[in-house]
Amino acid sequence: MKLKRPAIALALTTVTVPGTTLASTTGALATSERHVAPTSAQSRPAAATIDAKGPGVFPHSADYYPGSRKFVTGSLAHSTISSVDQNGRVRTIIEDKKLVSVQAVRVDSKGNRILAGNVDYGTADRSTDATKFKVAGVAAYAIGSGRRLWYADLNKVANDDKQHLVSDVTIAPDGTAYAVDQLSPTIFRIDRNGQASVLLRDDLLAGDLNIPDFLDNVGMSAVAWMPGNLLIVVKADGSLVRVPVDSPKKAVKVKLSTNLKALTAGIRVLPDKSLAVVSSGLLSGKAAVVQRVRPDRDWKSATVKVTDTVADTVADPVTSSVTAGPGGRTYALSGGLAALLAGKPNDGFTLRPVDVR
């Protein structure tokens, strides 16, 4: 494992409350949002699209540190994790040769960690024919030093000699992580020390959506922990599954007022515990769509309805993630997946503010 410590020291350092925020790259930018005077939705200035200057990074997901007002992304092309400031400056903060491609990234501020999902689409600089869709893991890194705390080999835990792709990771308040597999009907549980096990393997989680010339039987694309110790799993076909962590075999499909648009790709848990969901236009070629899902009290049913079920659209069809951003806004990530799959370079990526009211 190679850690770029000088970059980490600048971009991932603790601030006033250790372990809760990501510091900016310079002292002048290390202002926490809690020191910024609040503005009303009517008076605050419109957010600008962040054009990230990271050619060749090809991120699939992003997460946000409110204290330093920075995003963190992975890379489908490299074994790296990067920070992104609001001026679009991209800095590699971790390079770990244990990784092949970094799909999911999640910040555990309470635990002072970054979690990263390890995958292999066969498109990364460290991909091989032998490892394509055979790499599945989650790594944890200490904020500040970038030191790897542990690596959970989920391919080994699954022990089934099948294809695997860790599409997303969520973190419960007690620090337990849950990872979903896009190519098998499996949810993994990983404790704070990196010990992993299978939480649930059930055909309810299996997928039958095909992406021509790329992936077949695509299933779970995203997951979120919710109060009540529930996992809400988003499937690529636009359906949701409710999984009680304490009784995972009682998993059921959520009754939606209408299915989300496929190819559902990424989610953000909003402050009221509803979901913002982005559906990629990878299959349709049309603009990506952002929708809002408002649940009933216990997530057994939910309503998908904001302005004829669509909250906003993103110009780039291949948009893979939504995340919190400055001022409580929601940002959609367009990471250049289409170019990566076509073997073409890119000039960077974008984080675009979207409306999910």
Measured distance CA(160)–CA(119) in Å, rounded = 17
User: Residue 317: its pLDDT value, please?
Assistant: 65
User: Residue 13: its pLDDT value, please?
Assistant: 36
User: Residue 168: its pLDDT value, please?
Assistant: 97
- The pTM assigned to this predicted structure is 0.86
At 291, which helix (H) or strand (E)? strand 288-295
User: Residue 305: its pLDDT value, please?
Assistant: 64
At 140, which helix (H) or strand (E)? strand 137-142
User: Residue 310: its pLDDT value, please?
Assistant: 56
Mean pLDDT by 10 residues, the chain (357 residues): 39 32 31 39 66 93 86 95 96 95 94 96 92 96 94 96 95 97 97 98 93 85 97 96 98 95 93 94 83 94 69 73 92 87 87 87
Beta-ladder partners of 268: 276
DSSP string, 250-276: G-EE-EESSPPPSSEEEEEE-TTS-EE
Residue of 342, 356, 211 lying closest to 269 (CA atoms): 356
Beta-ladder partners of 16: none
User: Residue 24: its pLDDT value, please?
Assistant: 32
